[in-house]
Amino acid sequence: MTRFAAPIAEQIWDMKYRLKDANGTALDISVEDSWRRVARALAQTENDPAAWEDRFFDALADFRFLPAGRILAGAGTGRAVTLFNCFVMGTIPDSMSGIFDMLKEAALTMQQGGGIGYDFSTIRPRGAAVHGVAADASGPLSFMDVWDAMCRTIMSAGSRRGAMMATMRCDHPDIEDFITAKQDAARLRMFNLSVLVTDAFMEAVKADGPWELTFAGKVYHTLPARDLWNRIMRATYDYAEPGVIFIDRINRLNNLSWCETIAATNPCGEQPLPPYGACLLGSVNLARLVAAPFTPAARLDLDALEELVHVAVRMMDNVVDASRFPLPQQAEEARLKRRIGLGVTGLADALMMLGLRYGADDAVAQTEAWMKAIAEAAVRASVALAREKGPFPLFDAEKFLASGMMQKLDPDLRAQIAEHGIRNSHLTSVAPTGTISLYAGNVSSGIEPVFAHSYTRKVLQKDGSRTEEEVVDFAVRMWRETHGDTPLPEHFVDAQVLEPIDHLRMQAAAQAWVDSSISKTINCPEDIPFESFQDIYLQAWEMGCKGCTTYRPNAVTGSVLSVSETSDKTPEADSGAETVYLTEPLDRPAALEGATYKLKWPGSEHAIYITVNDIVEGDKRRPFEVFINSKNMEHYAWTVALTRMISAVFRRGGDVSFVVEELKAVFDPRGGAWMTGRYIPSILAAIGGVIERHMISIGFIAGEGLGLKTDPRALAEPAAAEIPEVAPETTERPRGPACPNCGAYAMRMVEGCMTCADCGHSKCG
């Protein structure tokens, strides 16, 4: 018997959370071993570790409490990784030395697996005078490019590549460039962008008034506020970025408004944090707490919820003491405030089990009631911990109770806080749970609606054969088990049929009892008129949200899942995604066809020879392995490493063209080279161009992709037999980026993160 509700859940556990040694041998034999490892590690700070280990294990069992991925993957491993998912870094000084000190801190944080958020509003605008050196400033966007390059080169701990959030105030002189920065498809790809929107700006937008762009007291430019607002909305409509953060509301409602100022969030936006603040996340799985689902007696077990929240708060509080921190400033910030972010997942599934339609009045009311119950239970748990272990060190009863969400608590809870203190300054947050929701059996993620009731996932096996696997939403699967082929009730809605207002109402209802913030994406139909779209963020502000993110599929952002016209509008994977996931690498045939290319890098004495061998699957040819050779011994180590890494990726299958994109984006800080009239930023970028040429010639890709927009044919000349001409496929290549982990065209925006519906890979989770 297996604890996993679906094959994909077990695969997620094996890939991301299962403890393995350096050779890949599993040390966690079962998921129970993983639960036990985490429970034991977090119980070590207790006076009675054995007793609390068992209670923590029970909370983890059956996926009822889901700690964030860094905790599941890192707790109890003995490895030098942080258990905190993300950080907001220190305030960036407006000086060259200060900026690069901050860059170093960011690199050290990402090295241990932490995503980071930064406010770039503190850097003087482009063209401003730099006194003492007779020069003009290059502006914050130029330094964001440096951060972006750094992030590309550092692989975060485990299987997660670093994610970053960049914010900029709506009154910064470079805000217009910030809004459009990612419209260059090769720029700032490691960043999410959000504009820090003030109440004054929103009032100016509503009044159609002027808006001044200022820095250090100097007005650089004045423009109509509505023009700037429309630029934000048009960019979001066409490119899905930037999002907006209502920064004045965040600071006004902050539980610690009296001792900290917030100017940035973690990469997904659910944790507004002060400088060096840490993001500690976990989620209660509401779908596992529903009694008598799909019956008139269906209800959420509030007693079980209360008990689970109490244990979860204690576990998360212990993480503060059990975790490593990349920087001492982060450790001190976490110790002084003991901030945690307990959230939910499976909300939409739980609502369906109770017969409620996502976004309807009764579902909105039920959501707010559940979030209030969780918030109050968390406060009671934190007060109990304060009685036992002491309140957070900066606790000041009078100031704390007069701030943030504390003002709306019932009098009895306020009295308990006044008497005993509280262990944690912040308690609730709704995180993106894309990966852990798959791990928990494909429950609906966070407070999002169900994205798709089911879809078919094609899995490439080790022998080259393909199998099909249906991935079904948790609640839908439960319905099928009890009702057979009976059609789904009308309240079983998914994201394809919901209006933006349905999303907003649910987000606002949840936000009422969340003292941090919420990661949520409003998925909009492709054909929504701009006139309807442009009011979404304004409605979010008026409804009390702390931020807003939207995603409208189109030719630029990508069409993530297609809807079959012959079905009942259930999304399915795009027909172009024939190879989506590989459980194990393919076996190597005895003989392969390929070609060798000669690359002569300017200034280098010896040429580099690049061999790309292909494998044929059915009637299609795809790259299988790469060999990179040079007589220059200075190249030996990195060419061997690159050979092994690229070949390992190619043998995993899927759309591996992302390898080209990544290579072509690498720049050498010592400088690149001009080749046939084009600037190539590094020798690695040149190698990427060669591999891209090969992919085009065999029909694996239709043409040049994103990146440097260079002509790869100018980079190398054939050195061996020419590759036979293979006509590109006539079917249109699916729009949008493929998943960098499994190759499926199943990336979708979930709670601010691009997340793969097939393998669970997430850029920031």
Which residue numbers are catalytic?
Answer: 266, 268, 270
Residue with tokens 């972006």: 148
The length of the chain is 765
Inter-CA distances, 762 with 6, 267, 478, 690, Å: 19, 12, 26, 28
Residue with tokens 């601010």: 752
Euclidean distance between CA atoms 525 and 552, whole angstroms: 6
Inter-CA distances, 412 with 303, 379, 383, 418, Å: 19, 11, 12, 10
Euclidean distance between CA atoms 397 and 402, whole angstroms: 9
Q: Nearest CA to 431 among 555, 520, 356?
A: 520
- CA R_g for the chain: 26
Residue 134 half-sphere exposure toward CB, CA atoms < 13 A:
0
Retrieve residue 249's tokens. 């509301």
User: How many Cβ atoms sit within 10 Å of the Cβ of residue 679?
Assistant: 12
Retrieve residue 224's tokens. 């109509």
Sequential DSSP letters for 518-567:
B---EE--TT--HHHHTTHHHHHHHTT-SEE-EE---TTT---SEE-TTT
Asked whether the CA dihedral 352, 356, 358, 363 is positive or negative, the reply is negative
Euclidean distance between CA atoms 193 and 195, whole angstroms: 7
Euclidean distance between CA atoms 165 and 498, whole angstroms: 28
Judge whether 414 and 464 are in contact, CB under 8 Å. no
> CB under 8 Å to 527, separation ≥6 — which residues?
none
Judge whether 754 and 434 are in contact, CB under 8 Å. no
Retrieve residue 448's tokens. 């999002």
Q: Nearest CA to 428 among 544, 272, 299, 540?
A: 272
Q: Nearest CA to 478 among 684, 718, 294?
A: 294
Q: Nearest CA to 275 among 416, 93, 44, 411?
A: 93
> CB under 8 Å to 240, separation ≥6 — which residues?
550, 551, 552, 557, 749
Sequential DSSP letters for 418-486:
HHH--S-S--B-B---HHHHHHTTSPPPTTPPPS-SEEEEEEE-TTS-EEEEEEE-HHHHHHHHHHTTP
